[in-house]
């Protein structure tokens, strides 16, 4: 009987080991908690964002939690089911970020925007994907997107511009 219980317990734990289900966060603000954790406090989100983009970038994004639009879910024919979170640093929204994850917490893309140090009228937008980075300086707000599909399109455009596919 113990053996059956141990085997059953392993089957119940396998989905947790494969990745977190981020769907309960959809429609909530970045500061809202599900099961006592914000999106960026979920262990697999932290682990995957840190592995893909570095601890410093993870900490920067996690620090933007206080201000942002509702977390969204979007389906993309190429990338699959995605969770998209756009947020900015409280009281400093030119300093913004957008995170694109799969619904099971795999890190797909990250966009960071800040004011250009040499020209306060411009912003620096940096996109990060698997094995590539793209940096642009321009007059727009950068990583603030009106819709989830705009964020996905921005990611794909940056990936193309970085020479990493369609």
Residue 111 neighbours by CB distance under 10 Å: 25
Closest alpha carbon to 87 in 29, 45, 157, 135: 29
How far is 29 from 98, CA to CA, in rounded Å?
A: 13
Lowest mean pLDDT among 11-15, 23-27, 76-80, 118-122: 11-15
pLDDT digits (tens, 9 = 90+) for 36-58: 999 999 999 999 999 999 999 99
Please state, as a whole number, how many other Cβ atoms lie within 10 Å of the Cβ of residue 47. 15
Percent share of the chain, pLDDT over 90: 53
Query: Average pLDDT, stretch 152-161?
Result: 93
- 3-state class (DSSP) for residue 21: coil
Domains annotated for the chain, with CATH where assigned, are: 20-161 (3.40.1420)
Q: Answer positive or negative: Cα dihedral of 25, 28, 29, 32.
A: negative
The residues, any chain, with a CB within 8 Å of residue 101's CB and separated by 6 or more, are: 22, 45, 48, 49, 82, 83, 84, 85, 107, 108
In this prediction the pTM is 0.83
Alpha helical stretches, state H, 2-147:
2-18, 43-53, 55-62
User: What's the pLDDT score for residue 93?
Assistant: 66
Tell me the C-alpha distance between 46 and 9, whole Å.
25
């Amino acid at each position: 009987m113990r053996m059956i219980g141990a085997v059953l317990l392993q089957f119940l734990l396998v989905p947790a080991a494969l990745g977190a289900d981020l769907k309960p966060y959809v429609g909530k603000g970045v500061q809202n908690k599900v099961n006592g954790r914000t999106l960026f406090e979920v262990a697999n989100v932290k682990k995957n964002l840190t592995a893909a983009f570095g601890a410093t970038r993870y900490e920067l994004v996690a620090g933007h939690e206080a201000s942002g639009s509702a977390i969204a879910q979007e389906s993309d024919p190429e990338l699959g089911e995605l969770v998209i979170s756009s947020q900015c640093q409280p009281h400093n929204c030119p300093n913004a970020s957008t995170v694109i994850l799969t619904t099971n917490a795999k890190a797909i893309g990250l966009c960071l925007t800040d004011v250009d140090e040499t020209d306060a009228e411009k912003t620096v937008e940096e996109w990060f994907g698997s094995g590539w980075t793209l940096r642009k300086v321009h007059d727009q707000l950068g990583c603030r997107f009106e819709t989830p599909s705009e964020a996905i399109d921005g990611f794909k455009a940056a990936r193309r511009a970085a020479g990493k596919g369609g």
